[in-house]
Amino acid sequence: MTKRLLTFTAANALMAGPAVSQDLIQPIGEGPFSWVAYQSFADQYDFSGEALEVLGASTGRDKDKLENLFAYFEEATGATVTLSGSDSFEQDIVIAAESQTLPDIAMFPQPGLAADMAGRGVLVPLDDANRQWFEETFAAGSSWADLVTYPGPEGDEHIYGTIFGADVKSLVWYAPEIFDEAGYEVPETMEELKALTERIVEDGETPWCIGLGAGNATGWPATDWVEEFVLRTQPPEVYDQWVTNEIPFDDPRIVAAIEEYGWFARNDDFVAGGSDAVATTDFRDSPAGLFSFPPECYLHRQASFVPNFFPSDVEVGLDADFFYFPAYADKELGKPVLGSGGVISMTSDRDISRAFVEFLKTPVAHELQISQGQFLTPHLEANTETYATETQAAQGEILTNASTFRFDGSDLMPSEIGTSAFWEAMVDYQTGASAGDVAAAVQERWSRIK
């Protein structure tokens, strides 16, 4: 990628007359973007002639979007940024560390590997003042700071990156026209959601479509349900202790969360096809029942990516909508949100690397990325008018209203547990085993790998 040619002026001059560059997706100074913050960043740095290497997992259109964003860093600093995207990022970054061919910046799709790399001394810690930045700038900021706080090679904890981009899992999808015609209202509490579930059955209909099928990954959708219920029935520190096995997997609080999932999914009247069908229905096929005529179901809990599996003629915002998977009114645990987020860390201790991380903390970096679609941010200073769609903006609002954010728990657990034992346990539970027995089986496997 070549250096973009743009001469910077003082911020007030920039605002008076926007600069024009054919290589930038948004002309600087135009639109509802935080250009003053951008100019302030540009005034601080000059890396003309320097190069920055970035390694991440993004390929195809996702890689293009990142390169569109990084062009603004190039424009501001005079540097050249090279982004390498790889489907085998997890293996590539380990090989690079072992062969001492690390890039300057690593873009981790999840924090688990970042934590491992920090412990091995691969990552460069950020200033501890970044915790305060998270707390002041991100919704539920301490939650995000915790996601990037890891023990280093000496065991001392530091912040090892920034969060850039998030997905929301705490969503319930429905067909608004069908929903309204039936006289149903969006529930605001878990108690109301359970009451709605029972009312739909009383009306002779089926409330939920749920599918756990996913080939070799069958069972994972149920793990999200359990994680949601741990967050809604227990303080966040219990969730954190659970995913690290500081408390056992068969702790009564976790067993109770599994049984809360079972209240919805193991009742033949509550799920399309009956409870036995849940374990074999492919998760990609399960939302289709929302849009059949007559509808096979009225509700489907799944993450923000699920519209990718809606029928091709379904338009999100018109034919399909969503609401926040609600919290219990009587638990007083706020509005927890389950999701995922990318961690961007330094793997070289260079001034340009630190400046790049600072760029990604600016509101304009988040605005430019959300304007390209399929990207959400908890950044409270980012202008929500820059979201590409109203659907994105509404999902972003769920993020910024979160009292607690926690990363997908199964992805934080050792792979033998989170992507094997936990999945298998949920299939066993769905097909009739007790919550206590399946949780004990997971704990037994976890004990063997310690």
- Span 216-262, pLDDT tens digits: 999 999 999 999 999 999 999 999 999 999 999 999 999 999 999 99
Cβ atoms within 10 Å, residue 321: 18
Instruction: Determine, yes or no, domain membership for 436.
Output: yes
State mean pLDDT over 44-59.
97
pLDDT tens-place string over residues 79-100: 999 999 999 999 999 999 999 9
pLDDT at 23: 81
pLDDT tens-place string over residues 359-377: 999 999 999 999 999 899 9
Q: Is residue 10 predicted with pLDDT exceeding 50?
A: no
> Are residue 278 and residue 144 in the same domain, yes or no?
no
Domain holding 250, by residue range, is 171-337+408-449
> Are residue 380 and residue 237 in the same domain, yes or no?
no
State mean pLDDT over 107-126.
94
| Pairing mode of beta strands 321-324, 171-174 | antiparallel
Q: Is residue 7 predicted with pLDDT exceeding 80?
A: no
User: Which of left, alpha, beta for 422 (phi over 0: left; psi -120 to 50: alpha)?
Assistant: alpha
Which residues make beta-bridge pairs with 149? 159
pLDDT at 144: 94
> Are residue 317 and residue 357 in the same domain, yes or no?
no
> Are residue 228 and residue 333 in the same domain, yes or no?
yes
Question: How many Å apart are CA 445 and CA 418, to the nearest integer?
Answer: 11
**What rounded mean pLDDT belongs to the chain?**
93
CATH of the domain at 235: 3.40.190.10
Instruction: Determine, yes or no, domain membership for 5.
Output: no
> Are residue 211 and residue 264 in the same domain, yes or no?
yes
> Are residue 370 and residue 431 in the same domain, yes or no?
no
Instruction: Determine, yes or no, domain membership for 276.
Output: yes
Reported residue count of the chain is 450
> Are residue 306 and residue 433 in the same domain, yes or no?
yes
